[in-house]
Structure 1
Amino acid sequence: MSKILGIDLGTTNSAMAVVEGGKPEIVENKEGNRTTPSMVAVNKNGERLVGLLAKRQAVTNPDNTLFSIKRFIGRKFDDTEVQEDIKLSPYTVTKGDGGSIKVQMGDKEYTPQEISAMVLGKLKADAEDKLGENIEEAVITVPAYFDDAQRKATKEAGEIAGLKVRRVINEPTAAALAYGFNKKNDEQIAVYDLGGGTFDVSILEVSDDTIEVKATNGDTHLGGDDFDQVLINWILDEFKKSEGIDLSQDNLALQRVKEAAEKAKIELSTADQTEINQPFITTSDEGPKHLVLTLTRAKLEELVHDLVQKTLEPTTAALKDAGFDKGDIDEVILVGGMTRMPIIQKTVEEFFG
């Protein structure tokens, strides 16, 4: 019997795992990374790029690089939230048959399911390479608040990618299973999930072999990308102050600043300070200019303070909806790359006491 692939199809990044000896093990992609950007692009030569390759050229090819497609899956074009998201998308989103959504890439139009299937297709192919066997079946996770249409569309994306989707399960439930909480009895668990694009907090009740989502809340536009943006703005401001040049209009420079910001953010989860160093970032009449800045963890924490605090309101609301106090929570599970940031761990710890 071939292995079933477990897939976290995220707004910004996706990941996959298989069960080895009763334990879930992350499967690395072809690039050797544990996560794959949920991005698809078509370059000037008409080649399709998926994952990291798409991300690396996103700023210089904004019209034909699709990201955050999960925000559109299973939704209708006229939904208020969809209309808000379209305003933030550099790529073209149009209305399809029956009020559905189409996105444009190159000279073709696609459904969100077809784009998501390209991401899933890469995950499937990479897993097959890594494991040396065919993968035919998958379990895919979705946010707890996804409705029936969004779940069906996610399943359809899997099928387009050539996967038989055995189950679509809630992300917080999957997190609880991964940590073995299904073996516990009568516990209340909070799952605090701060990903690349979204923040979700769920309150779960675990009893004999069942995990029930009691309440869920969050902010669909709060995640690692926003933390990166705050840092990008700081870098651009500092460079403008010292050199008098605005890099925000220069797409090639901006792509480099964006990558440097994300790298610095990640490094500061383990280091106290880091150097942002991008030689030959631009040229002026005086000659080439280099971007060299030192960033401390303290400065980063000051910059992102408001964003971190912003996660507490939905957390309070979820507790209230579940009918629990902070003291009723037995365990907190931190999910998503952003929760590796020490300030976030500290804030959550202080909140739950």
Structure 2
Amino acid sequence: MSLAVGIDLGTSNSVVSYFDGDKVQTIADKEGRTIHPSVVAYGYGNTTVVGYRAKQQMSYAPENTISSAKRLIGQHFDSPEIQRIRKLTSWGIVKGIHNDARIRVQGQIYTPQEVSAHVLIHLKKTAEEALHKPVNQAVITVPAYFNDQQRQATRDAAEIAGLECLRILNEPTAAALAYGHQNKTTQHIAVFDLGGGTFDISILRIKDGFYEVLSTAGDTFLGGDDFDWAITEELIRQVKQHHGLDISKRYVAQAKLRKAAEEAKITLSTEPTAQLAIPSLTRNKNGEMIHFQHTLNRRDFRALATPLIDRCIEVVSKAIQEAQLSTLQVENCLLVGGMTRTPLIREAVEKFFGRTPISSLNPDEVVSVGAAIQAYNLQHQNNETVLLDVTPQSLGVATQGGFISTIITKNTSIPVEQSQIFTTTRDNQTEVRIKVYQGESGKTKENTFLGDFVLKDIRPALRGEIEVRVTFQIDADGILQVSAKNEETGSAVSMYIEEANKLSQSEKNNLKETVYEESS
């Protein structure tokens, strides 16, 4: 039997762990490092390097080095978030054939799934070298607030990488599983997960191996990257103020500043000030080399970070309300993600909950540890642990006038199946188009469009005479299937909503071959 591992496929960094039924091993590379940068660098001839070697290339070849590809996965090209990211990256973001966001490097177009597959292959090989056995299965974690298309795209990345994805598991739920594995007491916990690119908060009840998610909330465009960019933008202002030069379009110089910003952020977690020194940043208008120096203190960082922290706390407050609990009823708060090492974050969490958050578990590794435990449970059919997760956003269909009829409400436990009866809206209507949306607004234009399909061959009749049953099914991975049934004839049509934007099987097969050639 091949081994099954747990993978935290992160925006900035990724981690792979293995559980043998007795102890969990977070897997290190040959240099002893357990944290693997989610960075892919493309060289000449489409060769790739991944991880630390790729991250080193960011400062001198940023246009060929892809980081934070997870922020693009499963996203529509024309979404406001993608358009904002386009202005910040040194590599290109273009529209794909499914209106998906794709990556352009050296004139070549890559899907985010393909880039993520390179990271997964790197983790797979690292695990095989450490465990001395083939690794062909994995539980892969995603942000709790990922929508259906993002979850399916993550599955596609695993398939391209040659991994059977046993389960797509929400990151906060995985962290709670790792925590509960060591702490058997009955309790309510909050999992505050601030990673490199996303933020999630989940409220859970843990009792006797039963993990019930009561509510979840999040922001898929709020993470460590945004704190880095806040510092970077301040450094760009400093360069302009002291040297009269706008370097916002000088990508190599900007990459150097961003690297310095990330290092300063880390330094300020333990020191009151951070000294930034970048020799040979770039040349000024006269061709003279600029040697940049700047001091950043915690007060400066607080001013830059406070708007982002306030966004986090606003989401936390919403999750507590939706769980119908008070902060006093939440016994513990578990911190997850490297950003939670930042004192400002810890202070804000402690102030909100009125107690010191748990810091005994490694915030970088705890998600992959939980995923590894679940991989073992699934592979060995261990039924002693039960995970009851929820759908993070409401799901419904469009109705007349641009409104939404909700079929599955936010924070409904999954897996789940729910139906509603609709009728024709016009006389002699012979087909019905089912348009599926995700979000909390009652209006279609304020929600995320997931996809649509058509139920045909309806008997012509007066409006309202023909009934159509629309059924939503969400599986344990949080992936949605929608069906529509003509109640008069019994004819039905269904589809996985992701099929509107997902890669075809032939695309995945071709990418699988290409990715392994690039990685070899």
Report what 2:309 is aligned to.
308
Structure number with larger C-alpha Rg:
2
Pairwise CA distance, 1:224: 0.8
Pairwise CA distance, 1:291: 1.4
Gaps of 5+ in 2: 355-520
Report what 2:327 is aligned to.
326
Task: With the length of structure 1 as denominator, give the TM-score of the two structures.
Answer: 0.87
**Aligned AA for 1:272?**
P
Q: 1:146 to 1:33 in 2, by over 3 A?
A: same
Q: Distance in 1 between matches of 2:200 and 2:248?
A: 31
| SS, match of residue 162 in structure 1 | coil
Report what 1:143 is aligned to.
143
Q: Distance in 1 between matches of 2:145 and 2:213?
A: 10
Report what 2:260 is aligned to.
260
Instruction: Work out the number of aligned pairs and report it.
Output: 349
Q: Identify the range of structure 1 (292-301 vs 240-249) with the bigger mean alpha-carbon deviation.
A: 240-249
Q: Distance in 2 between matches of 1:241 and 1:83?
A: 30
Report what 1:215 is aligned to.
215
Q: Contact between 1:14 and 1:35, CA under 8 Å: does it hold in 2?
A: yes
Q: Contact between 1:59 and 1:251, CA under 8 Å: does it hold in 2?
A: no
Report what 1:245 is aligned to.
245
- The answer to whether structure 1 residue 130 and structure 2 residue 140 are counterparts is no
- The answer to whether structure 1 residue 291 and structure 2 residue 288 are counterparts is no
1:130-155 Cα shifts (integer Å, max 9, x gaps): 34433222221122234555434323
Q: 1:205 to 1:297 in 2, by over 3 A?
A: same
Q: 1:263 to 1:144 in 2, by over 3 A?
A: same
Q: 1:303 to 1:156 in 2, by over 3 A?
A: closer
Q: Contact between 1:188 and 1:204, CA under 8 Å: does it hold in 2?
A: yes
Report what 2:202 is aligned to.
202
Report what 2:340 is aligned to.
339
Report what 1:116 is aligned to.
116
**Aligned AA for 1:136?**
N
Report matched runs for 1:1-353 at 5 Å: 2-19=2-19, 22-29=22-29, 32-58=32-58, 64-74=64-74, 77=76, 82=79, 84-89=81-86, 90=89, 91-96=92-97, 102-180=102-180, 183-284=183-284, 285=286, 287-353=288-354
Q: Contact between 1:57 and 1:255, CA under 8 Å: does it hold in 2?
A: no
Pairwise CA distance, 1:209: 1.3
Q: Distance in 2 between matches of 1:108 and 1:299?
A: 41
Q: 1:185 to 1:223 in 2, by over 3 A?
A: same
Q: Distance in 1 between matches of 2:230 and 2:150?
A: 31
Q: 1:145 to 1:264 in 2, by over 3 A?
A: closer
Q: Distance in 2 between matches of 1:154 and 1:223?
A: 19
Q: 1:275 to 1:104 in 2, by over 3 A?
A: closer
Gaps of 5+ in 1: none
Higher relative contact order (CA 8 A, sep 6+): 2
Pairwise CA distance, 1:333: 0.5
Q: Distance in 2 between matches of 1:41 and 1:218?
A: 30
Q: Identify the range of structure 1 (159-168 vs 115-124) with the bigger mean alpha-carbon deviation.
A: 159-168
Taking only aligned residues, the RMSD between alpha carbons, in angstroms, comes to 2.8
Q: Which has the higher helix share?
A: 1
Q: Distance in 1 between matches of 2:167 and 2:63?
A: 34
Pairwise CA distance, 1:290: 1.6
Q: Distance in 2 between matches of 1:148 and 1:279?
A: 46
Q: 1:246 to 1:63 in 2, by over 3 A?
A: closer
Q: Distance in 2 between matches of 1:224 and 1:196?
A: 4
